[in-house]
Amino acid sequence: MAKEIFMTQWFSDEMLLAGESLIRQLDASDAKVQAAFWLLDAEDKTWKLTIVSPLVESEGPRSYYKRINDINESARPDEKVIALHDISVSDTNNRIVKAIKRSVLGDDAMLGNNRLGRNTLGGVYIEDMYLYRMDWVLLGNNVPSATTKNAAPPLSP
C-alpha cells in the first residue's frame, strides 16, 4: 500500500508533489477539478488540500471522497498519498474560491502554482496557501476576461 504523507505546520515538497499527483489522476478520471489548493488553518496550524468540483454538488461529497480513496488505494507502494482526513472537497460555492474571485483585478493576476499567504483576499484572511489552479472559465464569468489567460493550465502527466 502507498505511504501517507505526514502533515506538519510547514508546507513541504512532499505535500506539493502528492497534491499534484492526486490532481493529475483526478483529471484523468474526468473529476472536473475546477480549483485545487492547500490551505493552512491559522488556528490549528494544519494543512488541508481542498478540491473544488461541481461533481461534489451533483453526485455528493461521499461519492467524490470515494473517487479519491480509489485513487489512493490504487497507488503504487512507493507512492506518497494524502490521507482523506487531510483533504476537503467542495462544490463551486467554496468561500475561498469566491474570495479569490472577488480580489482578482486586471492582467497582473498570476493565479496558479503560486504560494499566497498572510494576505486578505476578497475579505477573507489567508494565513498560508498553495494554489495549484483556478479554472476561471469553468468557475463562472464573474472574473475579468483578461485573467482567464492567467489561469494555471492542467497539470501534465
- Predicted confidence at residue 75, as pLDDT, reads 93
pTM: 0.81
User: Which pLDDT belongs to residue 25?
Assistant: 96
Write down the pLDDT at residue 111: 62
Give me the pLDDT at residue 155, please.
55
User: What does the domain layout of the chain look like in residue ranges?
Assistant: 3-150
Quickly tell me which residue has 463562472 as its cell: 140
Q: Average pLDDT by consecutive 10-residue portion of the chain (157 residues)?
A: 74 94 96 95 91 96 97 93 96 90 55 80 89 77 40 47
Q: Which residues pair with 129 in a beta bridge?
A: 39, 116
Are 130 and 154 in contact by the 8 Å Cβ rule? The answer is: no
Please report, for residues 12, 20, 27, 36, 65, the alpha-carbon distance to residue 70 in angstroms, rounded to integers and kept in the order given: 24, 16, 14, 19, 9
* Among 102, 101, 71, 107, residue whose Cα is nearest residue 87: 71
| Residue owning grid cell 469553468 | 138
Tens digits of residue pLDDT in 46-86: 999 999 999 999 999 999 999 999 999 999 999 999 999 99
